[in-house]
Chain A
Amino acid sequence: MAAKSIISRPVYGTLSPQPGKHHLFVADAEGALAITDLAAKAPYGFFADAHIIFIPGQDGRHVAALEALKPAQFYQGPSFASALPRLKQTLANAHMGLRLYLAGTEGLIGQAMQAALEAGIDHTAIQTEHRGSLARRIQCVHCKGITEKVTTQPATCSHCGLLLLVRDHYSRRLAAFQGVCINAEDRSEIPPTEEIFR
């Protein structure tokens, strides 16, 4: 987790079972471990009203562990984009008493929260837990394109090619950190690239 930060940067917690009628989990990769940790603290029968939307990492791990929780619904998708229509429909049809839990990378948490905000759920009512990669989703302030899974500082915009300073300034609406041209004043200044969001 980032040590020193600014106020717009999201703060993540630890998932814990909430009172509610239905429980919707969205997780990727090691986010599955936040769900199994929660399961250890959950009352008997908790997952009988649960729906898990899971995007495994490239290694495909943790699927069996989640299935073993015997959720009412379990979905495994190849990418967040492929899971999004299902997530949107679930949120649109949700009734009072739905609890939302997001776990995994910041990009996953941010985009699932974006869908939840659009469905009218307040961000403070959502449980989040960061697990796994520190890779960031960034919006280029210049061309507005989103670059996914950024691990370096600075990073190259995958749309317009400008070299971007990845800021801590974060927009929940865009589910993205802000990228601003790092050498706008003198393009010949090329700072060294470091991998800091692994």
Chain B
Amino acid sequence: MGITFRKETFRDDFTFKNSPEHIRRFPFPFHEDSYMYAVNIEPHVLGPKGSVLETLIDVDEHYVAEMQDRALVLAEDPLRCQSLPHMTLAGWDLLELLMEQQALGYPEHFTLTRDGDRWRWINRPLGIDDSFTFGDVSTLPYGPMEYITRQSQGDFCILDQRDGNLWMDAGMVTTQADWSLDFDIGMNFFEWHAPVPLAHEKGIFVRALKFLTNIQQGKPARRLNWTMTINPRLDTSPENYHKWGPDRTTVTPENVGDKVHLRVELQSFWRLPRSNGIVFPIRCYLIKMDELVTQPKWARRLHRVIRDLPEELANYKGLTRYRATLVEWLSKLDDGSPTSPGFGPD
């Protein structure tokens, strides 16, 4: 049985929503009732059936709509997809990885056939059937990274590894939580994380870099990150901040449940075989408060996390303007009873 892809939007009339099954599989990011940065990296291995970890590259009911939204973003601003000249080989590595994983996880939707360098890729949800020569950019309508990431959910950063550091040298970034690929491209790991508060002092990035530079082929890793977004908007780029920023002033006690969304990034890290680069998919999951609180444990826990979040983090995540309204709304769903350990709903 294949996925039923929803027809929905992430802009204008914002018709995005999650089906009941997708609410249950939402990657809720808090395993306890409080939150602080940690090097929360773990092996990216398969998880339970019915979770977002059922496959290592998750394709879900929002796939087609997300790819349509990406195409709109790129038409408006092609600088969201950039690759420095030395990164083409890594782009082929990524194309191979995503075609293999999507065909493996969803054979009813994607098929990859290979005869030496002659490849054929069938993407049924998007109506694509292309034959091309692996390694020959003239046989694809875009560069290899752009070609495959126009057909894969989530943002993708490709990192070059040299001088003991990782360099953000290519990426497809249209669903970002407020950082600019165009500004950050070419920076090393510490430089592009420079604006993040508190974590440098805790040594988080030194340890994370050490872990990432040691990632081996076939042994990907992952972590979760989170923020909040008003309206189910994928494109919350700094480029368009003056367009979506005013959304943050529109939250009222009456519309919290519909407008405020928890935004979770499932970040994974994969060594690429030919280029020795690392690809860093940042897969974004959105859930509105009305959907999230259908799971009572999540409602209680989210209330406690947001209420107790350090001021500096709340500012960095852009919650300040509507935090009090949100906490008040969530408090009515928190009877003070204990929450069970772990991420999942009860």
Please give the residue numbers on chain A whose beta carbons come within 8 Å of chain B beta carbons, in ascending order: 6-9, 139, 141-142, 144, 162, 167-169, 171-174, 178, 180-181, 184-187
Contact = CB atoms under 8 A, between A and B. Distances in A.
A108 to B, nearest CB: 20
A169 B245 CA distance: 20
B239 A142 contact: yes
A7 B200 contact: yes
A29 to B, nearest CB: 27
B55 interface: no
State the main secondary structure of chain A at its contact with B.
loop
Given A142-B241, A186-B249, A167 B195 contact: yes
A113 B185 CA distance: 16
Contacts of A172: 186-187
B183 A139 contact: yes
A185 B187 contact: no
Q: Please tell me the size bucket of the interface on B.
A: 20 to 34
Contacts of B207: none
Given A169-B195, A172-B186, A184-B246, 9 more contacts: A9-B194, A142-B240, A169-B183, A171-B186, A178-B180, A178-B183, A181-B245, A185-B246, A185-B248
Interface string B56-100: 000000000000000000000001000000000000000000000
B185 A173 contact: yes
B191 interface: yes
A8 B183 CA distance: 11
Interface of B: 79, 180, 182-187, 190-195, 200, 238-242, 245-246, 248-249, 321
A180 B187 CA distance: 19
A180 B238 contact: yes
24 contacts: A6-B200, A7-B200, A8-B192, A9-B194, A139-B183, A142-B240, A144-B79, A162-B242, A168-B194, A168-B195, A169-B194, A171-B183, A171-B186, A171-B187, A172-B186, A173-B185, A173-B186, A180-B238, A184-B241, A184-B242, A185-B246, A185-B248, A186-B249, A187-B246
Contacts of B185: 173
Contacts of A174: 183
